[in-house]
Structure 1
Amino acid sequence: MASLVRFLLFFSLCYHSSSQFIQRVVWDKVNGVEVPRWRPTSQDQVQAVIQMLINPTLIYNCHYMKTICKNAKK
């Protein structure tokens, strides 16, 4: 769990200035195996998608994200 928190903190600090990310994943063959890759922005290199062995749980602060919390309760 601590490594996930560190990754999210690192990701938010590094990419905070970008307002939009490329949302499309591309598939490349590496040693005969297809692997997913993506680019945060058009200026970035294609990089590996981080695959997690567990499903993360999203927790929202409903004080700041009222609409998201209202939608989640429906």
Structure 2
Amino acid sequence: MRCSEVKNNLVDYATGKLNSVEIAEHLEKCEDCRLEFERIKNVVSILSEYKIEEPSEFYWSNFLYRVKRKIAQRNNISTFALK
């Protein structure tokens, strides 16, 4: 495999979405790709620890109003016109 092919697939390989003997063999031989793979693995590891909290029901209940209000503020339109 060429380096360009390997690098295009490193994210999927690092996340386990892709299992490839060819990539594994390439990484054993190619220091540049191996370093890139290690960097990607570190980022994937950090991101996997990050927990995203879902917004509350209240957040979604007035979401559209807040978006309209922000648009109106940017366009200097009265928020009373949004109701």
Identify whether the pair has TM-score above 0.5, normalized to the shorter chain. no
The structure carrying a bigger strand percent of its residues is 1
Which fold has the larger relative contact order, with Cα–Cα distance below 8 Å and residues 6 or more apart in sequence? 2
Q: TM-score, normalised by structure 2?
A: 0.19
Larger radius of gyration: 2
